[in-house]
Chains A and B, each alone.
Chain A
Amino acid sequence: MKSFSKMVTPYLVWMTVMIVVPMLMIVLYAFTVQGNSVLTFQFTLNNFARFFSDTVFPSVLWRSLKMAFITTVICILLGYPAGYVIARSAPNRQSVMILMITLPTWINMLVRTYAWKGILDASVFSAEFKVYVGMVYNFLPFMILQIYTALSKIDPALITAAHDLGADNRQTFLRVTLPLSVSGIVSGITLVFLPAVSSFFIPKLLGGGRFVLIGNLIEDYFISTGDWNFGSAISLIMAVIILISMYITRRLDKQTGEEEGD
């Protein structure tokens, strides 16, 4: 077994170079002033003070979190019935339906969003609505697949047992099926909420450039303003919020898991 553990080395090297180092650079940028050369650093907390002392930045952050939250809720509401129907279908029909859901994801997300832009540009909907359409469309497959996987793992004997013991359909769903599929919902939330909160090209394309989310803000400060330090500070603030929300979702998952055990 010990010799196998060496096989992880390439991955560790890769991860250090491609993930850890850039992360550290973001942290470094976030805590330094602009105009440093590579070797001399001047540390500061001003980037964070600037973010929180102005009402406009927290309001962009709040809007992003709200949009990501609503997108996630819509994805659960649409994705759960879809996943349920698929999991209950005959096996050969299941694979066809899963194929139909995964098929669009073979095409680049950017291209599909451009297609939506073509469809929605002429419509009268508000920028906000268009962005919701793009978000839900892009992230829904992740939710459906997670929920489907969790549901299809449930032993049909458990459902039969519930019926035998006198539970009607509603009781069976609420007390057997739903609790057993919570893990799927939780991983679906992670896969939808995280990309939704940091998405920048969906609001940029579908929102007509006038619907600013935190991802657009970061992009602006990196690309147009050239203020990498403030851009990094915003990224870092968002990373912390994402870590916290992941922690909370994990806790929820654990709690429901423990309740099932009782």
Chain B
Amino acid sequence: MKKISKALLISSAVIAMTGCSASSGKTEQVMDAQKEFGCSTINVYNAGEYISESAIPDFEKAFNATVKYDVFESNEIMYTKLMGGSAYDVLVPSDYMIERLMSEGMLQKLNQEQLTNLDQISDDVIGMRNVFDPAGEYAVPYFWGSVGLVYNKNNVDPAVIEEKGWDILLDSTYAGRVYAYDSQRDMFMVALKALGYSMNTSDTDEINAAYEWLLSMNKAITPAYVTDEVIDGMINGNMDIAIMYSGDAAYVLTENEDMAWVEPKQGTNIWVDAMVIPSNSACPALANEFINFMVDYDQQYANSEEIGYSTPNKKAAEELSAGTYEGISAYSPRTGYEKDEVFHFNPEMTKKLSDLWTRVKMSIN
């Protein structure tokens, strides 16, 4: 779900880093991939800045394998690259994109016998995965989170923002002091939720109401539409309120103690990014091993501690929320709230919303 607009600049650095950084030292070789599977190279395609530095070297050592690691900026770019015939062995897309890949027959079933670490995943996250992959045949959760508001406690009354939820974005008291997220999907989610509708609606009246809501939000608070800049912006305290992903918020909260996190009472988007194997994978056996390796406690702990997004691994999540991320509410997004939803893929809606979205952005200036 993370969208990295700087990914182009960073990707080469990430690859260089993962290529030469030392492994955590804990891993021993457990298998020789070439002997066992007849292939020892996998291509992994993940979002930018979304993996710990030690993960790839550790895996390469444990399986005597080579990982070619590539990063994408958005789910949509990943999809287009797949359509263009690029072959990967492991992808880490978001829920709705996995739903799309499944429906188009672009994924292969996982080998459950190899996935011995699945029981380490918490039931809550399994429940979220079941929304798009009910039998757990295709996807293994990697990171999960929600969307909420980060605010400066000194300038925004916590009681007020808890009470108003998303509607605080219509309050002109905060004009010029708000970061909105430059993404059609997330902003329409905010508007639909604020109005009490489902974020997966296809009802024209509800969509138009959400569009009007966004126009009045523009008018009331003239937000700055940003993506990754929101992280540094909130750490530096440039604005008082920001719409953010929980993992980024956890990072902001650790860096700036004036900042707090709220998941609006009207409900929000709960999302899961999960590992899948495309049907054209050349080395699916090793890909299954990689997935199993990545959900294991050690790797999830390191991954989540370094990146700040919430791990699906139950033990790692418990330890991190009581340890490194103690007191950082955004690290543990709420689960089981009835108004929270997982986003579903709907091409017609995406198209309809994209034209309205251009209008929303044009309405400010």
Chain A residues in the interface with B (C-beta under 8 A): 34-35, 37-38, 50, 54, 56-57, 59-60, 121, 126-128, 207-212, 217, 220-228, 230
Contacts and interface: CB of A to CB of B under 8 A. Distances in A.
B74 A221 contact: no
B215 to A, nearest CB: 13
Nearest to A212: B361
Interface in B215-230: 218, 222-227
Given A34-B347, A38-B84, A212 B358 contact: yes
B80 A209 contact: no
Contacts of A222: 76-77
Contacts of B85: 38
B184 interface: yes
A223 B73 contact: yes
Interface of B: 3, 73-77, 79-80, 83-85, 182-185, 218, 222-227, 238, 347, 350-351, 354-355, 357-359, 361-362, 364-365
A92 B350 CA distance: 60
Given A121-B238, A226-B79, 19 more contacts: A34-B347, A38-B85, A59-B362, A126-B365, A127-B364, A207-B365, A209-B224, A209-B225, A212-B361, A223-B73, A223-B77, A224-B3, A224-B74, A224-B76, A224-B184, A225-B350, A226-B76, A226-B77, A227-B354
A212 B218 CA distance: 14
5 contacts: A209-B224, A209-B225, A220-B184, A221-B354, A223-B74
B358 to A, nearest CB: 5
A222 B222 CA distance: 25
B365 A209 contact: no
Given A208-B224, A209-B225, A217-B358, A223 B365 contact: no
B354 A225 contact: yes
Nearest to B104: A35
A108 to B, nearest CB: 10
Nearest to B353: A225
A126 B222 CA distance: 11
Contacts of A223: 73-74, 76-77
A242 to B, nearest CB: 21
A56 B362 contact: yes
The 4 closest A-B pairs by CB, nearest first: A226-B76, A209-B225, A208-B224, A210-B364
A220 B358 contact: yes
Of A128, A220, A230, which is in contact with the most chain B CB atoms at under 10 Å from its CB? A220
Contacts, number: 82
Contacts of A57: 358
Given A38-B84, A223-B74, A224-B76, A128 B365 contact: yes
A242 B224 CA distance: 30
A62 B351 CA distance: 23
Interface of B, secondary structure class, is: helix
B80 A226 contact: yes
A223 B365 CA distance: 23
Given A35-B347, A209-B224, A210-B223, A224 B362 contact: no
Contacts of A34: 347, 351
Contacts of A225: 76, 184, 350-351, 354
Contact of B83 (A38, A128, A210, A212): A38
A39 to B, nearest CB: 10
A60 B362 contact: yes
A56 B347 contact: no
Contacts of B350: 225-227
A128 B364 CA distance: 11
B361 A37 contact: no
Contacts of A217: 358
A210 B225 contact: yes
A208 B225 contact: yes
A123 to B, nearest CB: 12
A209 B223 CA distance: 9
A222 to B, nearest CB: 8
Contacts of A56: 355, 358-359, 362
Nearest to B97: A226
A34 B350 CA distance: 12
B349 to A, nearest CB: 11
A140 to B, nearest CB: 23
A128 B362 CA distance: 12
A91 to B, nearest CB: 40
A220 B350 CA distance: 12
B194 to A, nearest CB: 19
Contacts of B364: 127, 210-211
Of B84, B218, B365, which is in contact with the most chain A CB atoms at under 10 Å from its CB? B365
Contact of A211 (B74, B84, B354, B365): B365
A204 to B, nearest CB: 8
B358 A227 contact: no
A38 B74 CA distance: 21
Contacts of A127: 364-365
A228 B184 contact: no
A54 B355 contact: yes
A202 to B, nearest CB: 14
A61 to B, nearest CB: 11
Contacts of B355: 50, 54, 56
A207 B223 CA distance: 11
